[in-house]
Amino acid sequence: MIHGWHGPEILPTTTMPKLNSLIFVTPNYGETDIGGLATSARRIVRHLASAYPVTVVTPTELIPAFTYRVLDAEGVSVVEVGKAADLGLFSQFLADVIETVSQTMDNPLFLGFYCNTLAYATTLVAQLRGTAPLLFARGNDIDLDVFTEAAFPIHYALSHAQTVFCVSREIQAKVSAFCPAANTRFIANGLAVEEFPFQDGYAPAPRPVIGLFGDIKQKKGLDSLLAAMDFNRFSLRIVGELREETRKLLHGFFSLHPQAQSLVSHVPYVRGRDAMLNQYREVDIVCIPSSHEGMSNVMLEAMSIGKLCVCSKIGGALDVIRDGENGFLFEPRSVQGLHQALQRAEDCLRGGHETIRRQASSTIRNDFSASQEREGYLRVLGAIGA
């Protein structure tokens, strides 16, 4: 054991996983986890599991702290590790669990999904086994966490990784600036495009509906969107979880603008492809006004079915959207820029929207499919002999 534990407590129903080749450590994975990180983790594990045996190690609040259990999820072994309030003690315990799992394997390859303290624990165990991990830089880890006390663990992990997969070219540039020694590689999110078919026969609503989707936390830009929207011309549909700070923001906005309350609807987080498709079809414009972003799954899904997307000029939007050709971009945090981008999108809805809709869908199908993402990861793994 790495940190002097006498061994992690195993729940009584647990049996150790079979011999596997890949150990994939991620902070979000379970079906109850919401947000793009969990969605992408599950998708990428499916890619990897199509070619290699995979064991996922992930924290959970569903079991007691400092215990773990092994489950089978669609042929993938999932080791759930009980979260603890003390991050330092939990990280030590997590490293011990990863090492315990790795001892059942010959020459495992370690993968750290999201470059925070979990990636640091993954890196330490990999080095103990005489190898280096593959890491995945996704967004908040490089945009936010590097400015916290996690900066040293992140830097250490990045500098000792075989490869750091970056979900956008902007994230790739930030990783290189923060850690010049990092060996970076850009592989974008991919979408199972056959599950998000182009919406034929679409006609915009008389009052266009703007959709804001996802885990609506502060960085998602709800404040900018509310300030930029003209409620004489648009209505707003929020689909997803409202964090406490965004609930307060919305409540404050309604107290100042009571006439807008009837033009804003909220649908709690929905699960499943069909439910998401129904929600996308209820809106005319999908807006992603985030202050920072990795590569939005919502953007890929919405563009695939032919929705007009208005996005901050950040992260993956810079890799996907060509302003005025397949969507609309504006400077992040610019209320005036967002207002103008929404006007441009509305003008498009009133005439000539079909061309941009089809360009948006073609972009995702041609350049950002799940099969392309899968090939990118498997090509790298094949080259290192996983």
- DSSP codes joined into one string, 185-239: EE----B-GGGS---TT----SSPEEEEEEEE-GGG-HHHHHHH--TTT-EEEEE
How many DSSP H helices and E strands does the chain contain? 14, 15
Q: Which residue has the tokens 């394997």?
A: 105
241 domain-assigned = yes
The CB density around residue 21, as the number of other CB atoms within 10 Å, is 17
In which domain, by residue range, is 204 found? 193-367
Instruction: Clarify whether residues 214 and 282 are in a common domain.
Output: yes
Answer yes or no: is 38 within a domain. yes
Same domain, 62 and 149: yes
d(CA 143, CA 27): 17
Q: Are residues 151 and 203 in the same domain?
A: no
Is 312 a domain residue? yes
Give pLDDT tens digits for 226-257: 999 999 999 999 999 899 999 999 999 999 99
User: Considering the domain boundaries, does residue 168 fall inside one?
Assistant: yes
25 with 167, same domain: the answer is yes
How many domains is the chain partitioned into structurally?
A: 2
pLDDT of 77 strictly over 80: yes
> Domain check: are 335 and 246 in the same one?
yes
Q: In this structure, is residue 125 part of a structural domain?
A: yes
Of residues 322, 312, 317, the one with CA closest to residue 290: 312
User: What CATH number is given to the structural domain containing 316?
Assistant: 3.40.50.2000
Q: Per-residue pLDDT tens for 348-385? A: 998 878 999 999 999 999 999 999 999 999 999 988 87
Give 164's Cβ-side CA count (13 Å radius). 34
Q: Can you tell me the distance from the alpha carbon of 26 to that of 56, in angstroms, rounded to the nearest whole number?
A: 7
For tokens 């990280």, the residue is: 91
pTM comes to 0.90
| CB-based contacts of 68, cutoff 8 Å, min separation 6 | 8, 9, 10, 11, 14, 79, 80, 81, 82, 97
Asked whether residue 1 is assigned to any structural domain, the reply reads: no
Domain assignment present for residue 63? The answer is: yes
**86 assigned to some structural domain:** yes
Q: Is 27 helix (H, G, I), strand (E, B) or coil?
A: coil
